[in-house]
Amino acid sequence: MTRGGRGQGAVVVLPRAGRSFARGDEDDEMTSALTENPHVLAFVAEMAKLCQPDRIHWCDGSEEERRRLTAQAVDAGVLIPLNQKKMPGCYLHRSNPNDVARVEHLTFICTPTREEAGSTNNWMAPDQAYSKLRGLFDGSMKGRTMYVVPYIMGPAGSPMAKIGIELTDSIYVALSMRVMTRMGQVALDMLGGGDDFNRGLHSMLDINPDRRFICHFPQDNAIWSCGSNYGGNVLLGKKCLALRIGSYLGKTEGWLAEHMLILGVESPEGQTTYVAAAFPSACGKTNFAMMIPPARFNGWRVTTVGDDIAWLRVGEDGRLWAINPESGYFGVAPGTSALSNPNALATVRKDTIFTNVAMTPDGEVWWEGMTEVPPPELIDWQGRPWTPQSGEKAAHPNSRFCAPMANNPVLSKMADDPAGVPISAIIFGGRRATTVPLVLQSFHWTHGVFLGATMGSETTAAATGKVGVVRRDPMAMLPFCGYDMGEYLAHWLRMRGSISHPPKIFLVNWFRKSGDGRFLWPGFGENMRVLKWIVDRAHVRVGGRETPVGWVPRQGDLDLSFLNVTSDDFDAAAHVDTAEWQVELEALKEWFDHIGPTLPPALELQRRLMLAIIQAGVGG
Ligand code: OXD
Ligand code: MN
């Protein structure tokens, strides 16, 4: 391999005779790379030798490159231009109908031993995974371009940021990574000559579920993904690096990679309090992160730092500081409306790549829940004519928007700050029809970790045939923890030792129902009322009532003015029913047994303590 000076025709000649690769013009035989970093060049050369692409394109992340790749994607039918007058820079991608979501059953943590991956992950031995996938990658990019996508997770120059290089044969991935990450030359500049970067390899192959594998090698800081072109499986910076590999790095380096939004709550006096919140996938994280407070909260503002992922480190001041490693939103489209999230609608009006939404005759987008009355005719997510009488969904239920965070009207001015923001409160949220009150504050860190470790959502009849079965999703990390779950919870407990000013921890549940099946709480912007109590508790300036399972607000503690909720409904939403909690705490034994022998004893003791207190009839 040879190379010249950067910007002066740097050349990378790969072992295949006569092949050399470049920035810009892919047909040029002798062209330049964007870096002299020998580790990066060796990685690209080795993977190109395996995958045998016809061309290699080094992404520089420029606007000019975006325009050129977009035009190529349109020519190739990968992107469909939307109405450029009404939605400038917006495009629609239709995925293969067999490839519309993350595939947890095909996602593997490839640690040397099964125990390191733990009882909640699929495991494959690294040698076996590499050899199986090497067979699939062999020659997989013949006739295709390999895009070299250097990217930063986190603001450029942040001590909390990490660098990745994703090699992919998907132009959709290259363009989406430019939205979701700080991509291109900026990442290579930050890396310099270093070797500390995530090595990601992705090939769509023939988009066949039989050849679909998402493999993580935490010890190698590597990800190999094949057979899919769906965001969560292939935008390797997101779930794969920022959460699965990130959580492993966090354990070994003493920080936390979490499935959490980050928002700022600005008071009328100008004080901003930062909050991180974990909710399971598709439970309204993006809506919460962009919330518009109700009219009653004149002068209050919520600003978004991130909508999906938080990296948290202890600062020199002993507080927990968070960055959002992403620079865009890969949000679920259905249900996003002027009522649920006007800021998201504004965000996706330009420079957005939509996947599997429906298209109006005028070249705009539509999805279920966007408007109360659907348009009379549409092209559905599979490109077929659709009318409300079709009897099928126009947009796929997991259709997505991929939009730059810079478009968000309520983007926090701290979203790009390399230092991150100090977190005063952590919220865990599940979807529970019973038992879990509207909001609960933990007594202390260990109790808070317990609440996070046991959060869950009830399955619905439609999904499983069994109502009321709780799927536990600790810290909303069940599909995203890159190592053993018990060790992960132990890491959370250990972190307390280095946080001298820990955030307060809360559990919320917007989904509690009355005996006759009504939601007791309106949700959406009204969640601001709960958020304000949380912020006030974090600053120790509002009251609450102690119950055996945590602190809850009393009627007067939460601002309920101009709210269409009866005081009976509020009481029912906030109620701690000790009989229900007894059942809950007893049922948790099974979940803890499932986590296995690495479950921290402190969490089992916490369970027994709460149970003993309830059985003794104390409080309630
Ligand atoms: C998810 C997502 O599945 O953010 O959690 O896409
Ligand atoms: Mn998510």
User: Of all protein residues, whose CA lies closest to atom 5 belonging to ligand 1?
Assistant: 281
Distance from residue 101's CA to the centre of ligand 1 (Å)? 9
Say whether pLDDT at 10 is over 50.
no
Say whether pLDDT at 7 is over 50.
no
Q: How confident is the model at residue 555 (pLDDT cuts 50, 70, 90)?
A: confident
pLDDT in tens, 292-331: 999 989 999 999 999 999 999 999 999 999 999 999 999 9
H/E stretch holding 284: none
pLDDT in tens, 184-224: 999 999 999 999 999 999 999 999 999 999 999 999 999 99
Is there an atom of ligand 1 within 6 Å of 398 CB?
A: no
Cβ 271 vs Cβ 219: under 8 Å: no
Say whether pLDDT at 283 is over 70.
yes
pLDDT for position 484:
98
% of the chain surpassing 70 pLDDT = 93
pLDDT for position 4:
32
pLDDT in tens, 355-384: 999 999 999 999 999 999 999 999 999 999
pLDDT in tens, 57-76: 999 999 999 999 999 999 99
The best mutation among 95, 330, 400, 401 to test binding of ligand 1, ranked by most ligand atoms within 8 Å of the C-beta, falls on: 330
Mean pLDDT, to the nearest integer, of 400-406? 98
User: Of all protein residues, whose CA lies closest to atom 3 belonging to ligand 1?
Assistant: 281
pLDDT for position 466:
60
Rounded Cα gap, residues 358 and 521, in angstroms = 31
Rounded Cα gap, residues 123 and 250, in angstroms = 20
In terms of pTM, does the model score above 0.85? yes
Q: What is the DSSP letter of 407?
A: G
pLDDT in tens, 521-542: 999 999 999 999 999 999 999 9
Is residue 283 annotated as part of the catalytic site, yes or no?
yes
pLDDT in tens, 464-517: 446 668 899 999 999 999 999 999 999 999 999 999 999 999 999 999 999 999
Secondary structure of residue 404 in the 3-state scheme? strand
Cβ 584 vs Cβ 607: under 8 Å: no
Ligand 1, residue 231: give the atom nearest the CA. Answer: 6
pLDDT for position 467:
60
Looking at all shown ligands, the one closest to residue 101's CA atom is 1
Is there an atom of ligand 1 within 6 Å of 102 CB?
A: yes
| Lookup result for tokens 């259905």 | 334
Cβ 4 vs Cβ 32: under 8 Å: yes
pLDDT in tens, 586-600: 999 999 999 999 999
Candidates 90, 283, 402, 481; catalytic one? 283
Q: Report in angstroms the alpha-carbon separations of 138 from 132, 203, 205, 568.
A: 10, 10, 10, 65
The best mutation among 100, 243, 286, 332 to test binding of ligand 1, ranked by most ligand atoms within 8 Å of the C-beta, falls on: 332
Mean pLDDT, to the nearest integer, of 90-111? 96
Mean pLDDT, to the nearest integer, of 350-357? 98
Rounded Cα gap, residues 162 and 247, in angstroms = 12
Rounded Cα gap, residues 510 and 522, in angstroms = 8
Distance from residue 401's CA to the centre of ligand 1 (Å)? 12
The best mutation among 234, 261, 281, 326 to test binding of ligand 1, ranked by most ligand atoms within 8 Å of the C-beta, falls on: 281
Distance from residue 50's CA to the centre of ligand 1 (Å)? 31
Mean pLDDT, to the nearest integer, of 128-155? 98
Nearest Cα to 386, choosing from 411, 362, 361? Answer: 361
Distance from residue 475's CA to the centre of ligand 1 (Å)? 14
Is there an atom of ligand 1 within 6 Å of 230 CB?
A: no
Is there an atom of ligand 1 within 6 Å of 232 CB?
A: yes
pLDDT in tens, 563-587: 889 989 999 999 999 999 999 999 9
pLDDT for position 29:
28
Ligand 1, residue 400: give the atom nearest the CA. Answer: 6
Distance from residue 476's CA to the centre of ligand 1 (Å)? 10
Rounded Cα gap, residues 500 and 165, in angstroms = 36
All structural domains of the chain: 10-78+102-254 (3.40.449.10), 258-327+413-577 (3.90.228.20), 328-407 (2.170.8.10)
Q: Report in angstroms the alpha-carbon separations of 229 from 117, 219, 225, 307, 537.
A: 25, 25, 9, 22, 44
Is there an atom of ligand 1 within 6 Å of 442 CB?
A: no
Mean pLDDT, to the nearest integer, of 26-34? 48
Q: How confident is the model at residue 46 (pLDDT cuts 50, 70, 90)?
A: very high
Nearest Cα to 375, choosing from 26, 389, 473? Answer: 389
Axis-axis angle for helices 246-253, 485-495 (nearest 10): 50
User: Of all protein residues, whose CA lies closest to atom 6 belonging to ligand 1?
Assistant: 232
Axis-axis angle for helices 485-495, 578-595 (nearest 10): 110
Rounded Cα gap, residues 67 and 385, in angstroms = 30
pLDDT for position 468:
66
Rounded Cα gap, residues 291 and 279, in angstroms = 15
Phi, psi angles (nearest 5°) of residue 613: -65, -45
pLDDT in tens, 416-427: 999 999 999 999
